[in-house]
Structure formats: C-alpha cells, structure tokens
C-alpha cells in the first residue's frame, strides 16, 4: 500500500471504531490468499469503510456506482482505494472485465448483489451481475453479512456507539453443471447466493429471503465439510 493509502485506512478505521463497537472476530475466517468474490448485504454507507479497512492487509477492491466519481473528493478517495466504477441498470462489461483482472491478481472483490442500500437492513432482491463474474472467473464466493449498523444515525444523535456485527459464511463456487445459463438460471443462481447470505443473518434481517425452506442448492458447490456446515444452516 502507498503511504496515502495506509493513512486513509488508518483514519477510516479509527473513525468507524469511534462510531461503532465492531464485532469483526469472524473475519479471521476469510482466506488469507488467493482470489475471492465477497458478497455482502448493503445497508448504508457505514459498512463500506468498515469492511474495506478490516479486511486489510489483503488487497481489496469492490464495485461502486459510477456516478460517485462525479464528486471530486470522492473520485480521489475511490481512486486511492482502487474501487471499480459500475454503471447501474446495464450490463457493464468493462466493469466485469476489471473485476476479473483484479481476481486474477489475487484481490478480494466485494460485490453487493442488492445493488442499492436498504437503509433498514432487511435483504432485498439480489441482482445477477455477480453470477457472471463468478462463472467467468471461476473464483470462489464468500458470503459476508452485517447487521446492527442500520441504527447508527439514531445512536449518533444520542451520542451512543452502535453495535456492528459481521458474520462470515463458508466459501462456495457457482457451477452451471453444463446447462445453458439463461435468465431463469441466472435468477436461480443469484437467489441461491442470497439465501446463503440470509442464513447467516438473524431472522428479522432476512427480508425477501426469510423463508429458508424455499432455498435451492442446485448451482452452489463447496467442499464436503463446508457443504455439511452450509446445509445445517437451512435445517
């Protein structure tokens, strides 16, 4: 990391620690090397600096809405952090190619399949962009979810710190198993990814994926040991 990058990481880590009591113990489960697609829920702006700084010193990048570069200050910050601009509402091939380049270089690439902040912390419908990235790159997918941070504005008004919880799941791969990846198949794949995330959250935060009995596991592949643990989450 450059000196500017190190300074920025230290500042944001310090600021978020002032705002929150961050329960990050499970981040020790994140593999310490190799490419990895980290899929997360997107509650508000708070989790972005928290997950980015707490995954250091692993090389980390992620997709951020392209319009954020319209701000001069944000443009500088996003460029320092190596974020990847993503044009929403379209198939942004350039962004996906950049994501695959970063995976090949051994980066953790953070993707929020919901696409936009929920504000309330309950899972929204996932978008299938990450399916393309996972299938084309062959990189493993790791679900990492947060809860508690949706209360930080109310707590800040009361001069209280917020309990911010991070939960890490088990890595898995997406495998089309030889079938043509149609729109319907992509929809099932992303729903399977989202159910993996939902299973890590307390029931009140599962949103549209609250019914774990509706989850399928046709396209998710993991090691035998990891699959046993994942299956138990849906029991």
**41-82 pLDDT tens trace:** 999 989 999 999 999 889 999 998 888 888 888 888 888 888
Are 118 and 201 a contacting pair, CB within 8 Å? no
Q: What is the pLDDT of residue 54?
A: 94
What does each C-alpha distance from 109 to 154, 176, 234 come to in angstroms?
Answer: 31, 21, 26
Taking the model in full, what pTM does it have? 0.90
Phi-psi region of 121 (alpha: psi -120 to 50; beta: other; left: phi over 0): left
**Taking Cα atoms as reference points, which of 61, 66, 69 lies closest to residue 107?**
61
* 178: DSSP letter: T
Say if 234 falls within a structural domain.
Answer: no
Say if 85 falls within a structural domain.
Answer: yes
Q: What is the pLDDT of residue 10?
A: 87
What gap in Å lies between CA 104 and CA 12, rounded to an integer? Answer: 27
Say if 205 falls within a structural domain.
Answer: yes
Other C-beta atoms closer than 10 Å to the C-beta of 1 total: 12
Are 30 and 142 a contacting pair, CB within 8 Å? yes
Residue with tokens 């729109």: 183
Say if 47 falls within a structural domain.
Answer: yes
Are 64 and 85 a contacting pair, CB within 8 Å? yes
Are 38 and 111 a contacting pair, CB within 8 Å? yes
Say if 235 falls within a structural domain.
Answer: no
Other C-beta atoms closer than 10 Å to the C-beta of 13 total: 17
Residues with pLDDT less than 50, the chain: 224, 227-228, 230-235
Domain that holds residue 139: 3-229
Q: CA dihedral defined by 111, 150, 232, 171, rounded to 10 degrees?
A: 20
Q: What is the pLDDT of residue 231?
A: 44
* 182: DSSP letter: -
Overall number of domains in the chain: 1
Length of the chain: 235
Say if 42 falls within a structural domain.
Answer: yes
What residues have CB less than 8 Å from 131, skipping those under 6 apart? 174, 181, 186, 189, 190, 193
Are 29 and 104 a contacting pair, CB within 8 Å? no
CATH of residue 45's domain is 3.40.1130
Q: What is the pLDDT of residue 78?
A: 85
Are 110 and 44 a contacting pair, CB within 8 Å? no
């Amino acid at each position: 990391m450059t000196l500017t990058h190190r300074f920025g990481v230290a500042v944001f880590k310090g600021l978020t620690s002032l705002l929150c009591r961050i329960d990050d113990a499970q981040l020790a489960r994140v593999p310490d090397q190799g490419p990895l697609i980290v899929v997360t829920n997107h509650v508000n702006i708070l989790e972005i600096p928290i997950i980015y700084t707490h995954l250091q010193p692993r090389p980390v990048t992620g997709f951020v809405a392209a319009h954020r570069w319209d701000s001069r200050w944000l443009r500088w910050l996003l460029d320092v952090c190596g974020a990847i601009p993503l044009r929403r509402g379209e198939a942004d091939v350039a962004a996906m190619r950049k994501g695959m380049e970063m995976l090949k270089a051994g980066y953790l690439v953070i993707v929020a399949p919901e696409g936009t902040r929920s504000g309330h912390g309950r899972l929204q419908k996932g978008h299938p962009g990450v399916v393309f990235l996972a299938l084309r790159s062959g990189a493993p997918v790791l679900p990492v979810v947060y809860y508690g941070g949706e209360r930080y504005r109310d707590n800040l008004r009361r001069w209280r710190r917020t309990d911010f919880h991070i939960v890490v799941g088990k890595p898995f791969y997406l495998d089309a198993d030889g079938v043509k990846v149609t729109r319907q198949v992509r929809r099932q794949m992303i729903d399977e990814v989202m159910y993996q995330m939902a299973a890590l959250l307390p029931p009140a935060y599962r949103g549209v994926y609250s019914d774990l009995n509706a989850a399928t596991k046709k396209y998710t592949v993991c090691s035998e040991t990891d699959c046993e643990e994942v299956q138990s989450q849906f029991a």
